[in-house]
């Protein structure tokens, strides 16, 4: 158990819909990262938040957005869903995010999204 | 842009054997970090080992060790005395200086046969 929690574990929805994935980082971690794992794209970094502020962006679609709240939990919002958005979405956390050291990221169990 | 390449889609070895998984990377960063993550059938991502590029000494964690060749941009993982529980997807990943997103390779599916 990494200490990172994600809800829900599974999500089934229809095309065009909007969903919200939730992540709670390990106790004491300030950084949260979101990743997408799909068969065709592999594991891709989407976005990082550090202490409530967006810090880095990866291959995140404009239909997707995220935020980190004062209690440090984070939500990933996926809208206008398409079949190709079906994937496993991981959240990871690390201690900091503003220093020179690249800290180890600890992954949550993931949310499996199926768009029908 | 950073790239990570794992050239072995699948490998299979007998229990107790030693196996080496290959990884090459490309980066323009001078300060970077390399990782191996394991993803068993449960799909959980588990950190196996980490290497700082500025350290010459190869990292080791029990049965797991790396062969880090900085000039060749190579970062292979050696698993000694392999066990059935080592069966999993193994991903090589890289991060630049400062905390940022990981760039992953496509993974190697390792099967440990009894």
At residue B97 the predicted structure's pLDDT band, cuts being 50, 70 and 90, is low
3 state SS of A69 = coil
Q: Do A105 and B96 make contact, defined as CB atoms within 8 angstroms?
A: no
* Rounded Cα distance, B41 and A22, in Å: 23
Query: Which of 29-68 (A) contact B at CB < 8 A?
Result: 31, 33, 35, 42-48, 50, 55-56, 58
Structure tokens belonging to residue A93: 């956390």
Scanning every residue of chain B, which has its alpha carbon at the shortest distance from the alpha carbon of A107? B45
pLDDT at residue A97, rounded to an integer: 59
Q: Do B107 and A42 make contact, defined as CB atoms within 8 angstroms?
A: yes
Q: Do B33 and A42 make contact, defined as CB atoms within 8 angstroms?
A: no
Structure tokens belonging to residue A29: 């971690």
Residues from chain B that touch A105, judged by Cβ atoms under 8 A, are: 47, 102
Phi, psi of B9 (to 5 degrees): -65, -35
**pLDDT mean for each 10 residues of chain A (116 residues):** 94 98 95 94 93 91 97 97 97 74 84 97
């Amino acid at each position: 158990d990494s200490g990172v929690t994600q809800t829900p574990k599974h999500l089934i929805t229809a095309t065009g819909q909007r969903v919200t994935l939730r992540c709670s980082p390990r106790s004491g971690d300030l950084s949260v990262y979101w990743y997408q794992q799909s068969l065709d794209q592999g594991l891709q970094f989407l976005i990082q938040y550090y202490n409530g502020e967006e810090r880095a962006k990866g291959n995140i679609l404009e239909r997707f957005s995220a935020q980190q709240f004062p209690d440090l939990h984070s939500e990933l919002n996926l809208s206008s869903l398409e079949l190709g958005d079906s994937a496993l979405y991981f959240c990871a956390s690390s201690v900091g995010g503003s220093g020179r050291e690249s800290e180890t990221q600890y992954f949550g169990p993931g949310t499996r999204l199926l768009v029908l | 842009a950073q790239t990570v390449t794992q050239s072995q889609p699948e490998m299979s070895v007998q229990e107790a054997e030693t196996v080496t998984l290959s990884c090459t990377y490309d980066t323009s960063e001078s300060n970077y970090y390399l990782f191996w993550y394991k993803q068993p059938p449960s799909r959980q991502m588990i950190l196996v080992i980490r290497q700082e590029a500025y350290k010459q000494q190869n990292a080791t964690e029990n049965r797991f060790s790396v062969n880090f060749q900085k000039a060749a941009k190579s970062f292979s993982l050696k698993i000694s005395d392999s066990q059935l529980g080592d069966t999993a997807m193994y991903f090589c990943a890289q991060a630049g200086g400062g905390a940022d997103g990981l760039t992953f390779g496509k993974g190697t599916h390792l099967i440990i046969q009894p």
